[in-house]
Amino acid sequence: MSTSFELAASIREDLGKSATRRLRKQDMVPAIIYGAGAQPVSIMLAHNQLMHSTENEAFFSHILSIDVAGKKEKVIIKALQRHPAKPVLMHADFLRVDMKEKLKVHVPIHFVGGDVAPGSKQGGVITHDLVDVEVECLPKDLPEYLEIDISELEIGDSLHLTDIKLPEGLSIVALAQGEAHDVQIVAIQINRASLEDEEELEGAEGAEESEESEESGDSAEEDAGE
């Protein structure tokens, strides 16, 4: 993995709702580090530092390094609470990583080849049912993202979880639960809006032809009458 993330944090000594509110007013984010058989540690991080990191998609699928008062912890982010109306991070949960134990992480899916897919060129609409997938692997095997090639899809074609070509050491969590969980991840469908427009156009053209036919018939009757 070419991208790396290092965060600096301090231990929170003062806990509670009032302390948390004061913390946020100081542009700090309360957080917790837990797991790997060690005691949870309450920490705080600079809001701007954390916000900047979360703007990178890779932040959510990487092993992160947090320096807590001089001690570095290897973690992954497990939960991130955002303010419902403001661009503000409210709380973060970090899970310690044991390099010898497998972990479960949601990894982004990158779709490639959509612009050259036959179905796309024929006017089809590409629909993405999933934007990420939960995988299980050792920390050293954790990918930044999974790439899905859709360049050969026709209209009506789709790809499922079992169609993902996984790097060595990875497994998809959902597939371990049985075939029923082999859900669709992407498809190319008929552009129904265009289809409806075509039908309306054909209907209008048919109506015009019918009117022209009626007018011709009326003219013929008039000529015969004369």
Question: Does 207 reside within a domain?
Answer: no
CB 133 within 8 A of CB 107: yes
pLDDT of residue 202: 59
Highest mean pLDDT, choosing among 34-38, 79-83, 197-201, 205-209: 79-83
Strands (E), 47-156: 64-68, 71-82, 89-96, 103-112, 125-128, 132-137, 146-149
Asked whether residue 90 falls in the same domain as residue 63, the answer is: yes
DSSP alpha helices (H): ranges in the chain? 17-25, 47-54, 118-121, 192-225
Question: Does 13 reside within a domain?
Answer: yes
**Encoded tokens for 212:** 């022209």
Alpha carbon distance 59, 104 (integer Å) = 15
pLDDT of residue 14: 82
Q: Is 2's pLDDT higher than 70? A: no
Asked whether residue 17 falls in the same domain as residue 73, the answer is: yes
Domain boundary at 33, 64, 96, which? 96
User: Tell me, what DSSP letter sits at residue 202?
Assistant: H
CB 111 within 8 A of CB 128: yes
Residues in Cβ contact with 111 at an 8 Å cutoff, skipping those fewer than 6 apart: 126, 128, 148, 150, 186
Amino acid at site 173: V
CATH number for the domain including 85?
2.40.240.10
Q: 224 or 66, which is more confident?
A: 66
State the residue range of the domain holding 61: 6-96
Alpha carbon distance 32, 48 (integer Å) = 18
Asked whether residue 63 falls in the same domain as residue 21, the answer is: yes
Instruction: Tally Cβ neighbours within 10 Å of residue 186.
Output: 20
pLDDT, tens only, 93-119:
999 999 999 999 999 999 999 999 999
CA-based angle 122:124:126, to the nearest 5?
135
Alpha carbon distance 101, 173 (integer Å) = 15
pLDDT, tens only, 167-178:
999 999 999 999
Alpha carbon distance 81, 112 (integer Å) = 31
Q: 225 or 99, which is more confident?
A: 99
Domain count, the chain: 2
CATH number for the domain including 155?
2.170.120.20
CB 92 within 8 A of CB 45: yes
Nearest-CA neighbor of 133 among 181, 82, 190, 94? 181
Count Cα atoms within 13 angstroms, Cβ side, for 7: 32
